[in-house]
């Protein structure tokens, strides 16, 4: 408080000294200019003392400018997450209704027995895997660091939660909490993707992409016939189609366009996450590691990701594969097993490679 009063009094004295009339200053423009520079420097120093520190840079200024935009995006995403989840359920249900009403009867009536068995088995397997992993991804907590005092090693303090942050932990501004091994906040799940539901999220992306590709390829011929039929609506005279036939034409077109679009968009996202998993990174760590690579490169050094256990082992850690049979029971069948690590402490690659995981 005393320092603040001294700053204010000093500022007022400088202002009075500069504004006080003095005949001798009339011909001394250089001295006036110097006094103006001193006053400007003092004001600038006083302003910087309110917010400046050794870590201030252009990124800090941009964050301050865009802070209102971040606040709006965070709150809108938080409330619209429920809408996005409902949209996923509605669109997926509409695809199922169209498949059971129009696509499945064609398969049962025109395909041979082996083709019918394959379509029924493969299609329903994909359906079970999509529903299971989406439910688990939305309802499973991504994991949070302990809020009470513990012996868990931490690498920093969260300036918003005011709690220690273990390695690979980051703060989610939408959920307003720290997330273990945070990848990103997914509005389509209305949940953060973190340590305990990362596998569910990626598996859902994989099986949803496979399901959309399956529907798109299977109904391609029906889509062409339906598109030609819709084009014929505008002929003179128009062909006579029943209400059910017109509905089936539009439904097949909707099915093909939706599944093809989702397969392309979600397939690209799935491929990107597969690359990150192979590198032993999350989406957040990818940006951090890129900065570290550039920083160390300027110093003539090479960056090494401390959480990269090897391409194959990275997948085994994510999928929780500890035995050969787990590829079937934990990857290709619904499984609610917990991840390999606890999300609080991460072993170094050398320690992990000495385990039996390497031999699987």
Q: Which residues are catalytic?
A: 186
Distances in Å between the Cα of 216 and the Cα atoms of 155, 209, 222, 254, 256 are 47, 10, 10, 11, 5
| Continuous H helices in the chain | 2-19, 29-51, 58-65, 67-98, 104-110, 113-139, 198-218, 220-231, 243-279, 283-298, 311-319, 326, 349-353
Contact of 218 with 103, CB cutoff 8 Å: yes
3-state secondary structure of 179: strand
How many CB atoms within 10 Å of residue 15? 13
Contact of 266 with 215, CB cutoff 8 Å: no
Q: Which residues pair with 171 in a beta bridge?
A: 178
Q: Which residues pair with 128 in a beta bridge?
A: none
Contacts 24+ apart (CB under 8 A), 266-269: 266/205, 266/208, 266/209, 266/212, 267/209, 267/213, 269/205
Q: Which residues are within 8 A (CB) of 21 and not within 5 positions of it... i.e. 6 or more apart?
A: none
Cis peptide leading into 237, omega within 30 of 0?
A: yes
Compute φ and ψ for 301, nearest 5 degrees: -115, 165
DSSP 22: -
Q: Among residues 176, 343, 193, which one has the least CA distance to residue 270?
A: 193
Token pair listed for 98: 């169209």
Distances in Å between the Cα of 325 and the Cα atoms of 94, 195, 320, 355, 360 are 36, 23, 11, 17, 10
Compute φ and ψ for 164, nearest 5 degrees: -65, 145
């Amino acid at each position: 408080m005393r320092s603040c009063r001294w700053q204010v009094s000093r500022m007022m004295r400088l202002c009075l000294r500069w504004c006080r009339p003095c005949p001798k200053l009339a011909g001394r423009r250089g001295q006036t200019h110097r006094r103006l520079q001193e006053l400007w420097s003092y004001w600038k120093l006083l302003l910087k003392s309110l917010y400046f520190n050794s870590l201030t840079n252009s990124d800090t200024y941009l964050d301050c400018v865009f802070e209102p935009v971040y606040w709006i995006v965070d709150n809108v995403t938080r409330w619209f997450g429920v809408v996005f989840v409902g949209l996923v359920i509605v669109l997926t249900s509409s695809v199922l209704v169209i498949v059971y009403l129009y696509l499945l009867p064609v398969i049962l009536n025109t395909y041979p027995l082996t083709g019918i068995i394959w379509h029924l088995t493969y299609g329903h397997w994909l359906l079970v895997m999509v529903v299971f992993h989406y439910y688990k991804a939305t309802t499973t907590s991504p994991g949070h660091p302990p809020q009470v005092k513990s012996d868990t090693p931490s690498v920093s303090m969260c300036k918003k939660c005011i709690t220690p942050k273990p390695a690979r932990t980051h703060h989610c501004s939408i959920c307003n909490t720290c997330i273990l091994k945070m990848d990103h906040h997914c509005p389509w799940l209305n949940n953060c993707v973190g340590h305990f539901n990362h596998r569910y999220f990626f598996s859902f992306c994989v099986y949803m992409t496979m399901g959309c590709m399956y529907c798109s390829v299977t109904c391609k011929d029906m889509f062409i016939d339906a598109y030609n039929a819709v084009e014929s609506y505008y002929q003179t005279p128009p062909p006579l189609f029943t209400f059910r036939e017109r509905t089936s034409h539009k439904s097949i077109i909707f099915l093909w366009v939706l599944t093809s679009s989702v397969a392309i968009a979600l397939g690209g996202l799935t491929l990107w996450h597969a690359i990150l998993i192979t590198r032993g990174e999350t989406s957040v760590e990818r940006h951090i590691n890129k900065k570290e690579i550039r920083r160390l490169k300027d110093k003539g050094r090479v960056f090494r990701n401390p959480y990269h256990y090897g391409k194959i082992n990275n997948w085994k850690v994510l999928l929780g594969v500890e035995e050969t049979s787990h590829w079937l029971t934990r990857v290709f069948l619904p499984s609610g097993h917990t991840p390999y690590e606890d999300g609080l402490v991460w072993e170094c690659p050398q320690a992990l490679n000495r385990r039996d995981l390497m031999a699987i």
